[in-house]
Amino acid sequence: MPKIVYPDAGENLEEELSEASRQRLDALGGLEAHYGRPESHEAYLRRIGDARAILLGWDLPAEVMLAAPALELVVFTGIGAARFVDLPRAAARGITVCNTPGYSDNTVAEHALALLLAAARHVPRLDAELRAGRWNQSSMGMELRGRRLGIVGFGGIGQRFAALARAVGMEVVAWTRNPDPERARAAGVEFVSLDRLLAECDAVSLHLAGTPETEGIIDAAAIARMKPEALFVNTARGELVDEAALVEALREGRIRAAGIDVYREEPLPASHPFLGLDNVVLSPHVAYNTPEAAVALHDIAVECLVRYFAGDPIHVVAAPA
């Protein structure tokens, strides 16, 4: 039986493992879990020991990965594994790395909708004013029905958000790096150029992976193309956006409002200018965080383990040459 270790499990792991996943892990020989992030590389290596496979919640330092004597599989419990694991060095070392796509499609899409609605109707500001004793009925909200939503990136989250937006009466267009017409028809959207999306849409929502190719895709020029009444939502990655340009546009009223869950620096510094803007709705990178998504995350991770040891690996993001 392969030794499988979770060297940095979260404190809620027991609640996040479904009965089906427990049974599958037992069939593989069980899971050795250590809670919390290791305090040092030495502690990390002691936790991994002679494990052939690990589930990974956070980062795996290259020094630890290369020194783990029997490690051959890393299953990252999330997406964007390249931010947490040195994928080229893993492949060169003979280690397969998998991730867990799709676990948060619905929960992130719902959070994006919550941010969009809150930004459109000034919910945080009105709540704060009411708690401070001010009865402000002068702020006009923005009705979303009949408005055009532009989705930048059309993977699982973007597709689910499109369905939710259509349910409230929005027209949806999307930009994707893979604009397959059949895919557009199946999803009921029109694929358009990014310039057209930015110029024509009443709301823009980001659902792209953070990669060197997508970093800064929403720069000052892109923000300048947006409508003055546009709403902007980012539940994807902070590095997709020129935050300084976004702050300036929001402060000057060149776009209406924004809802943001992800940032270039996390946790968000207390001095960040987003915190001084009343037309920005903020949340602390929690769009993925629901019990349902956590269970789905670990179901997919366990499936990766089972399929790998059955000789049929899935969701591979790095593999030995």
What residues are annotated to the active site?
A: 237, 266, 285
| Overall residue count recorded for the chain in this entry | 321
Token pair, residue 223, equals 């923000």
C-beta separation of 116 from 205 below 8 A: yes
Tokens 């965080």 found at: 289
Task: List the beta strands (DSSP E) in the chain.
Answer: 4-9, 32-35, 53-56, 73-76, 96-98, 148-152, 171-175, 190-191, 203-206, 231-234, 257-260, 280-282, 316-318
Helical pair 156-167 and 105-120, crossing angle rounded to 10 deg: 50
**Exposure string (b/e) for 180-198, b if CB count within 10 Å is 16 or more?**
eeeebeebebebbebeebb
d(CA 1, CA 89): 26
d(CA 110, CA 157): 9
CA distances to 72, 80, 233, 284, 320 from 89, in Å: 12, 16, 35, 31, 10
d(CA 72, CA 181): 39
Q: Which of 45, 49, 95 is nearest to 73 (CA)?
A: 95
Longest dimension (CA), the chain: 67
